[in-house]
Structure 1
């Protein structure tokens, strides 16, 4: 063990022991055995059997701090520190070698953080809250708990892990603090249930929170699966049609901006954007010679390629996670005036996602061009949308797309195509 680490750990042990002796002398006889045992058992259980939120980052929110919040109110600082130190032992950890100084450090940190926070709560409650519900004094206590706990851990990480880049204390706290507000409000709920309705209701609230946790975690897993499916199909599309490689991703990007301009809900926008990424999946059933043809399509070839919307729908309809939004794929070549395919539906009968996709799909074709059709300028594209609004496109959606183009959202796409054209001319 590094000498600096030994000194630091010894300092933490000494401070913790000193606080233990002081609080022990003052508060050891002041306790309710039932509350101590009950809260100790609860924190042991929640610490060892689940984390509350599994976030998209590596930071997780445990239930330790929310359960300690009622302890701040009903127990004195000494016993709060004791249940924090003992209750946070991970009894269920497997295949982990016991290291005494790490174990002692963790116990010391939890005791120091919890007991000091409980002491602060006692001091500030009469000043901040008086006889009312202790929202502000609880907030003060958890901030102290948060700062002590995470500062001590931050220091030991930076001393012991010389093989990694030192990370900013500010960044460290910024990442961890994302879940502090969650712990605060969960703790207030638990405190209110404990004080007003008793221990049984308190336990029921915890069970309900874990049910909610499991629901959101399953939804997160579902979203991850959804993303993986989309990305896999996107690779299939790009490998099949090299000429339009990247087309679906660009259309999805345009869709993202257009949904934002239309102020659609986040959930609806995300579903439309995800479908946009694979809107041409049906082309895997279209003959390669047609997809790669550099000539204008014949009537028969055009008829064949029109089938890709139906092919895409049939391919994906048995995937439960996707089938609610497949009408976007099926109808994204329908026209506002009814002249599109596959069914010739018109106006509001076309799903809004398909109407959005029709505009974004056409935008990419206009910007990139085809072998038989050169790219269009920004001004020409605006003119084309104005001309086709109410005919090919939903007039309101076309208007929103024109706004985006005029605001310069897609200027980088125009510039990249201009550079490519300049390079082609220089080599010709």
Structure 2
């Protein structure tokens, strides 16, 4: 442990002791011991046994701020600090792997933060809320607790890890603050339950919240599994066809922007983007010689490579997590004028996701080129989309793609005119 860290920890210990001595008279003046005991038990259980409420994902959920808001309201600042500091002790993490200075720092930082929050609550309540429900004073107190506790932890992390890249203070708080507002509103619900209906409803609301959280976490786990499957298939595609390595990722990026431009729902957009990442998965069944050929394909070879859409669809259709919207893979080479494959669908009979993917897939070919065809300039690509609107592409999608290109969304992908001319000359030789 470095000298600076030792000095910092000593300062935190001494400030906590000073707070304790100044507020000690409140220790004997607290008359609401039933609230103290109840809130301590709830805080302790929430920090040690919330795992039982999230048994599917094994994700532990902290409920410190929601319970703390009720503590601000019912008990004095000293007891708020004691209840929070002791109630947040975790046996699995702090007692089992006990390190005295870490343990003492954690208790001190939480004690200082919760006492400060309670003092702010008491001082601001009459000014901000009067005799009404403490919406604003609870918000102020929660923010003070959040800032002090996390700022003290931020400093100790930076002093302890001198050899790692330090996260900026703004980035640190931005990451942590994502759950602050949610915790605050949960705290208001719990406080209202406690005030109006007592401890029983307070406990029931907490149980209900954890049941809801368990549902969302299980859904999150399912989404993570979905993402892992997609990423695994993406690696398989890239390993199969090195020339087009990165193609699916780029197409997915273009798809993201085009879906936004199309004002599709978030759920539908996410499905289309995910499918875009693996739209060429069927190529794993196509012979390597055909995929990597730089010569013009024979009629039989072209028929074989066209079957990659059907191969991909058949491969994925029985996987429940990703079988939704699989028509996008099957039909992403259909054309608006009906001259595409595999079924020659025309116009709006082609799923919108497939129409979007057709445009994005073609855009990447235009931008990157192929062994037999050099990349195109920005102006040439715009002209190509105009030319193929109503033919290869849905006119509305072509118009929106042209607008995205003009607005500069893909400027970092376009090769310079000079570079393209060099590539054209190399192809001639």
Aligned residue number for residue 347 of structure 1: 347
Q: Which moved more, 1:213-222 or 1:351-360?
A: 213-222
Aligned 1:18-97 pairs, distance under 5 A? 18-50=18-50, 62-93=62-93, 96-97=96-97
Inter-partner Cα distance in structure 1 for 2:411 and 2:75: 63
Q: Say if 2:113 and 2:146, in contact at 8 Å, map to a contact too.
A: yes
Q: What SS does structure 1 have at the residue aligned with 2:313? A: helix
Structure 1 residue 6, shift from structure 2 partner: 4.4
- The equivalent of 1:393 in structure 2 is 393
The count of corresponding residues between Structure 1 and Structure 2 is 422
The alpha-carbon distance between structure 1 residues 247 and 172, as it changes in their structure 2 partners (threshold 3 A), is closer
The alpha-carbon distance between structure 1 residues 365 and 164, as it changes in their structure 2 partners (threshold 3 A), is closer
Alignment of 1:191-270 (within 5 A): 191-270=191-270
Q: Is the 8 A contact 1:31 1:79 kept in 2?
A: no
- Contact persistence 1:117–1:145 (CA under 8 A): yes
1:68-101 CA-partner distances (Å, limit 9, x unpaired): 1011101121221121121011123388432223
Contact 1:51 1:63 in 2 (8 A): no
**Structure 1 contact 27–77 (Cα < 8 Å) conserved:** no
Q: Is the 8 A contact 2:258 2:401 kept in 1?
A: yes
1:57 — aligned with what? none
- Return closer, same or farther for 1:2/1:372 CA change in 2, 3 Å cut-off: closer
- Report if aligned partners of 1:28, 1:78 keep a CA contact under 8 Å in 2: no
1:141 corresponding residue in structure 2: 141
User: Which consecutive residues of structure 1, in runs of 5 or more, have no partner in the other structure?
Assistant: 55-59
| Residues 333 and 358 in structure 1, CA contact (< 8 A), matched pair in contact too | yes
CA displacement 1:364-423 (0-9 Å, x = unmatched)? 223333344444443333233223222322111111111122223333333168525415
Compute the TM-score of the two structures, normalised by the length of structure 1.
Answer: 0.89
CA distance in 2 between partners of 1:86 and 1:299 (Å): 76
Following superposition, the deviation at residue 308 of structure 1 comes to 1.0
CA distance in 2, matches of 1:249, 1:303: 25
Cα drift, residue 328 of structure 1: 0.5
Q: Is the 8 A contact 2:281 2:308 kept in 1?
A: yes
Helix, strand or coil at the partner of 1:410: coil
Counterpart Cα distance in 2 of 1:63 and 1:24? 27
SS at match of 2:93: coil
Calculate the TM-score normalised by the size of structure 2.
Answer: 0.89
Moved more, 278-287 or 225-234: 225-234
CA distance in 2, matches of 1:51, 1:366: 52
Give the match's secondary structure for 1:140. helix
Query: How far did residue 161 of structure 1 move?
Result: 4.0
Structure 1 segment 29-428 matched on structure 2, within 5 A: 29-50=29-50, 62-93=62-93, 96-164=96-164, 168-415=168-415, 419=419, 421-422=421-422, 425=425, 428=429
Report the alpha carbon displacement of residue 64 of structure 1 after superposing the two structures with TM. Answer: 0.9
Over 3 Å counting, the alpha-carbon distance change for 1:11 and 1:215 in structure 2 is same
Name the CA shift for 1:37/1:240 in 2 (closer, same or farther; >3 Å): same
Q: CA distance change for structure 1 residues 96 and 348 in 2, over 3 Å: closer, same or farther? A: same
User: In 2, Cα distance between the equivalents of 1:233 and 1:391?
Assistant: 31
Write out per-residue CA displacement over residues 186-207 of structure 1, whole angstroms, 9 at most, x where no aligned residue: 2112112221232222112212
Cα distance change on mapping 1:155 and 1:282 into 2, 3 Å: closer
Kindly state the Cα deviation for residue 344 of structure 1 after the two structures are TM-superposed: 2.2
Shift of 1:290: 2.1
Matches of 1:410 and 1:148, distance apart in 2: 43
Q: Deviations over 1:287-334 (max 9, x none)?
A: 222222323333222222221111100101121111002111011111
Report the Cα offset of residue 357 of structure 1.
0.5
The superposition leaves residues 224-259 of structure 1 with CA deviations (integer Å, 9 ceiling, x where unpaired) of: 222222222122222222333332222222212211
- 1:285 and 1:2 map into 2 onto residues whose CA distance is 59
Decide whether aligned partners of structure 1 residues 95 and 45 sit closer, same or farther in structure 2, where only a CA change above 3 A counts.
Answer: closer
CA–CA separation in structure 2 for the residues paired with 1:375 and 1:168: 41
